[in-house]
Structure 1
Amino acid sequence: MSRQESEALIALDALGPNGSYRSRNRTVVPDVTGRPVAELGLVPTLFVTRAMAALRRAQSLPAEERIAALSRAGRIFAEETIDGLGYEEYRLTVARVSGVPISVVREATAAIEDAAEQAGFAAYQAQPAGAVSDWRSDATLRGSAVWTRRGQVFAVHAAGNHPGPHSLWLEALALGYRVAVRPSRREPFTPHRLVTALRLAGFGDDQVMLLPTDHAGADEVLRGADLGLVYGGDEVVRKYAGSNILPQGPGRSKILVTADTDWREHLDTIVDSISHQGGVACINATTVLVEGDPGPLAEAIAERLETIPSLPPEDEKAVLAVQPLAAAQGIESFLLARAKGTKAWLGGDGVVGELGDGSAVLRPAVHQLDRPDADQAGIELPFPCVWVGPWTAEAGTAPLRDSLVVTVLSGDDALVDRLLDEPSISNVYRGDHPTYWIRPGVPHDSYLGEFLMRTKTVIRD
């Protein structure tokens, strides 16, 4: 790359304890066609070590000040030009780089703005009813639980497939943690803009940081924190389960339709749960189980999904996510290999829709299973790919385990009870509610505050 070409790229520098830091080690961030868009500076491990130490030495803002600063940050994030990018230009850039449709980026970034505005409310929804948030409360004169942090420094290994997850870690700031974010190289624009907005709103450089780095530096980010949040696949979940790192893995969200419910009355919700936001999120439905013959439902889903057009991510009518062609072909090969033995209603010959510019749309796939516990029912892919299978009362809740969300379309109260009692199911939606339903103040995968906080008894004179 020539010097002139390099200077034309958006510069994304680390945001360390002494402000913006321009590292000599820089990596190019391309869009889905392979065209260079930005240069991301990667800081060395020693820089990370010193930055994490600075976070540990820092003092958090008082509660009222940090809640007010978060609210201001939401407005700055959405209204101001940051590092030369206006809000609409930023969102268009995210769409072109991540491949997520522009309409989805708008929805996700509006949710980040809303999450910043409501972080004080949402974070404290996890506080136990019997606890207070300040030991100075009159309740501690008689003895009371006080809700306190489990540490002081929180680290985030951010996801790059969707801007939405950046709304979650704002709650850690609301609760008084100092936060370090290691951005994804795939889409670093959202965390860079958000951390900058937080600093402009009143958080100190030593209270919230952006630390782009390599794998060794990424490990150092986690070592330097008390608690962490990491996004990834099953291997990430296995690696960090039960540790001081909270893994966020595949959602494997599901829909169950029992025989007392006519799926035709809920087809809009079923299809929308599969395809909403391009099917890239952990709260998209990846498996639909129906009591009875799954064929007619699979056929109806396929007929709906087949009509979605293949468009570039910046097109206002785009629905499906876009990947670089080679990446899309790799996903297609994986799907075709794993789908052997199923009945393909859609996508059986492939899911790659080339756009002619080096990128490709991942088109929907619908496969019918012959049993509810088929291996394929546990496969989650970053596009509208759904496995439709039979379910029986005898199968019970076992095929629905390990789900972030289960939408159950049934009049059976006892079944809902069993789903709620199943520890590996995080959320249960009964009735005509899509699997992607969420709002500030309700838990996504439990409240983040359940992980970040604990109660201590305090009694004083």
Structure 2
Amino acid sequence: MPATTAATRRTLNALVPGGSYAPNRRAVIPDVAGHPFIYLSMVPRLAVTRTVEAMRRAEAPLPEETREVIATAGRLFATATLDGETPEDYCYSVARTTGLPLATPRAALRLFETGAAAIADGADGQRPTAVAPRFPWAGKTPATTPGAVWTRRGDVLAVLAPGNHPGPHLEWLTALALGYRVAIRPSRRDPFTPARLVHALRAAGLDPAHCVLLPGGHEVGDALVTAADRSVVFGGDDVVHRYREDDSVFAQGPGRSKILLTHGADWRAHLDVIEESVTSGGGLGCVNATALLVEGDPRPVAEALAARLARLPVLPPEDPAAALPVTTLARAHALRDHLAQRAAGTEPLLGADCLVGNLGDGSAALRPTLHLTADPQDPVLGTEMPFPCAWVAPWNRRDGIGPLRHSLALMTLTDDADLVSSALADPTIRNVFLGTRPTSTYIPGLPHDGHLAEFLMTATTVVP
């Protein structure tokens, strides 16, 4: 895609019940070299309140009709020109502004093409079996038969969206399939994915009042959370801490995903899946592995993994062969300094001095890093970075499940069935992988951090 000038640069507008909305204020979204790439309309706080009020006045979406719309929208997202943007334009824009390798948004096209339908079809499957989908329930007489009915906890869901990967945007489609109206505040880093998805939904026939896009700053995010009934908010530990007392907010924070390798498992046979767990999608996802715990001496597997990671090419993000994330050169240097500080006391196999791959245009690829630490309880194992970054430590049976807890994804490379059972029984471990697929694997319809319906819905008893 050719570089744009101020005269030709596209503006990505808000999408409200009345259509496209272009407020006076705009923000410039830069590319990975710091050059202006696109204008993003920024709605005022008052527009949030008015938009949510208009969404409440609209009739609730009918789940049966909405699910077909969602499936169609997934196909349009992958194949159609939407708001003048082709699928390849979309991929280029995401790569060039987020620094994600081009392969990541291209994979997102395929994911949305089939995943949207899976999300829509699976929404009702999240309902408890003893609960009817709605009142009255089919085949029974409400006047004589007590029962329970599946009920929304509200009407409007707010989503303060992430910008590190397109995939999480599939999740809020569950809310639409359950009858919610959804308002998204996009990340400035990637406004393209939610904008394209909202356009696809509207092109598929969704009432514009059922799904809106409201770009803005923190004040818009705060207003949206206040105005909505339920909210899903993505961010770091600060976001999780901020909302931890608010039951109406589901805060999605760091994943701190891990891999455990025990005696008896052939790590050489699993090196491919270990590497992909660390590097898939540029290593930016909450399900990318950041800690590798090894029973016995961790050095051989760490050195073998480091040798593989060191071979990944330094390329601009829009290159089809790119595998590493890219950011501005200034930010890359700041991340290098931050990593060096956090890694103090560990042994670098690929250290901070290896991180910055200068691309010569004001941007830099972020090379993988890997450090050894002697303590499986070292807090550094929970340190996540916006690039492939792994911390390797020894693990002993006496350590038990403790070092594995608080993991969004855990891969267990072991033949110890009791250990796997313990991991499955721990509520702080949300996904367990048994070694055939990387921790970054996402299967639409299966719970990611639990089923979203657990947060959105409740059971109400009806007694005649």
Scaled to the shorter chain, the TM-score interval is over 0.9
Q: Is the 8 A contact 2:337 2:352 kept in 1?
A: no
- Match of 1:91? 91
> Which one-letter code corresponds to 1:184 in the other structure?
S
Q: Cα deviation per residue 1:90-140 (whole Å; 9 max; x = unaligned)?
A: 111111111101111111232223232223222223111212212222365
Q: Is the 8 A contact 1:112 1:166 kept in 2?
A: no
Q: Is the 8 A contact 1:140 1:458 kept in 2?
A: no
Q: Is the 8 A contact 1:302 1:346 kept in 2?
A: yes
Counterpart secondary structure, 1:132: coil
Once residues 414 and 339 of structure 1 are traced to their aligned partners in structure 2, the CA distance between those partners, rounded to angstroms, is 33
- Match of 1:15? 15
Once residues 185 and 372 of structure 1 are traced to their aligned partners in structure 2, the CA distance between those partners, rounded to angstroms, is 36
Counterpart secondary structure, 1:247: strand
> Which one-letter code corresponds to 2:129 in the other structure?
A
Residue 445 (structure 1) aligned with residue 460 (structure 2): no
Q: Is the 8 A contact 1:109 1:163 kept in 2?
A: no
> Which one-letter code corresponds to 1:409 in the other structure?
L
> Which one-letter code corresponds to 1:437 in the other structure?
T
Counterpart secondary structure, 1:78: helix
- Match of 1:305? 309
Q: CA deviation at 1:144?
A: 2.4
1:187 alignment partner, one of 174, 177, 190: 190
Counterpart secondary structure, 2:239: helix
- Match of 1:294? 298
Q: 175-184 vs 84-93, which deviates more?
A: 84-93
> Which one-letter code corresponds to 1:302 in the other structure?
A
Once residues 79 and 348 of structure 1 are traced to their aligned partners in structure 2, the CA distance between those partners, rounded to angstroms, is 41
> Which one-letter code corresponds to 2:221 in the other structure?
A
- Match of 1:241? 244
Q: What 5-or-longer segments of structure 1 have no aligned partner?
A: none
> Which one-letter code corresponds to 1:229 in the other structure?
V
Residue 333 (structure 1) aligned with residue 337 (structure 2): yes
> Which one-letter code corresponds to 1:236 in the other structure?
V
Q: Is the 8 A contact 2:75 2:112 kept in 1?
A: no
Q: 416-425 vs 41-50, which deviates more?
A: 416-425
Map 1:100-139; keep pairs closer than 5 Å: 100-138=100-138
Q: Is the 8 A contact 2:95 2:102 kept in 1?
A: yes
Counterpart secondary structure, 2:427: coil
Q: Is the 8 A contact 1:322 1:361 kept in 2?
A: yes
Q: Is the 8 A contact 1:404 1:425 kept in 2?
A: yes
Q: CA deviation at 1:75?
A: 2.1
Q: 51-60 vs 305-314, which deviates more?
A: 51-60
Q: What 5-or-longer segments of structure 2 have no aligned partner?
A: none
Counterpart secondary structure, 2:232: strand
Equivalenced residue count is: 457
Once residues 75 and 423 of structure 2 are traced to their aligned partners in structure 1, the CA distance between those partners, rounded to angstroms, is 39
Q: Is the 8 A contact 2:61 2:176 kept in 1?
A: no
Q: Is the 8 A contact 1:115 1:170 kept in 2?
A: no
Q: Cα deviation per residue 1:201-234 (whole Å; 9 max; x = unaligned)?
A: 1222211100011221211111110000100001
TM-score (norm 1): 0.96
> Which one-letter code corresponds to 1:256 in the other structure?
L
Measured on the aligned residues, the alpha-carbon RMSD in Å equals 1.4
Counterpart secondary structure, 1:256: strand
Q: CA deviation at 1:76?
A: 2.1
- Match of 1:323? 327
Q: Cα deviation per residue 1:69-105 (whole Å; 9 max; x = unaligned)?
A: 1122122222222222111111111111111011111
Q: Cα deviation per residue 1:1-45 (whole Å; 9 max; x = unaligned)?
A: xxx943311111111121111111001111111222211110111
Q: Is the 8 A contact 2:48 2:220 kept in 1?
A: yes
- Match of 2:385? 381
Counterpart secondary structure, 1:313: coil
Once residues 297 and 75 of structure 2 are traced to their aligned partners in structure 1, the CA distance between those partners, rounded to angstroms, is 50
Structure 1 residue ranges, 4+ long, deviating more than 6 angstroms after superposition: none
Q: CA deviation at 1:61?
A: 2.3
Q: Cα deviation per residue 1:298-344 (whole Å; 9 max; x = unaligned)?
A: 10110111111100011111111111111222211111111011111
- Match of 2:212? 209
Q: CA deviation at 1:459?
A: 4.2
Once residues 329 and 44 of structure 1 are traced to their aligned partners in structure 2, the CA distance between those partners, rounded to angstroms, is 34
Question: What's the % identity of the aligned pairs?
Answer: 48
Residue 174 (structure 1) aligned with residue 210 (structure 2): no
Q: CA deviation at 1:371?
A: 1.0
TM-score (norm 2): 0.96
Once residues 434 and 85 of structure 1 are traced to their aligned partners in structure 2, the CA distance between those partners, rounded to angstroms, is 32
Counterpart secondary structure, 1:206: helix
Once residues 138 and 189 of structure 1 are traced to their aligned partners in structure 2, the CA distance between those partners, rounded to angstroms, is 41
Residue 155 (structure 1) aligned with residue 158 (structure 2): yes
> Which one-letter code corresponds to 2:244 in the other structure?
A
Q: CA deviation at 1:405?
A: 0.8
Q: Is the 8 A contact 1:409 1:432 kept in 2?
A: no
Q: Cα deviation per residue 1:337-394 (whole Å; 9 max; x = unaligned)?
A: 1101111111242401110011111100010010101121010112111001000011
Counterpart secondary structure, 1:323: strand
- Match of 2:360? 356
> Which one-letter code corresponds to 1:71 in the other structure?
A
Residue 199 (structure 1) aligned with residue 197 (structure 2): no
Q: 108-117 vs 415-424, which deviates more?
A: 108-117
Residue 40 (structure 1) aligned with residue 40 (structure 2): yes
Residue 258 (structure 1) aligned with residue 272 (structure 2): no
Q: 292-301 vs 264-273, which deviates more?
A: 264-273
Counterpart secondary structure, 2:430: strand
Q: 202-211 vs 358-367, which deviates more?
A: 202-211
- Match of 1:221? 224
Q: Is the 8 A contact 1:158 1:231 kept in 2?
A: yes
Counterpart secondary structure, 2:353: coil
> Which one-letter code corresponds to 1:53 in the other structure?
E
Once residues 441 and 47 of structure 1 are traced to their aligned partners in structure 2, the CA distance between those partners, rounded to angstroms, is 33
Once residues 460 and 139 of structure 2 are traced to their aligned partners in structure 1, the CA distance between those partners, rounded to angstroms, is 13
Once residues 440 and 292 of structure 1 are traced to their aligned partners in structure 2, the CA distance between those partners, rounded to angstroms, is 36
Q: Cα deviation per residue 1:218-256 (whole Å; 9 max; x = unaligned)?
A: 111111100001000011111112521101111111000
Residue 74 (structure 1) aligned with residue 74 (structure 2): yes
- Match of 2:167? 164
Once residues 309 and 94 of structure 1 are traced to their aligned partners in structure 2, the CA distance between those partners, rounded to angstroms, is 20
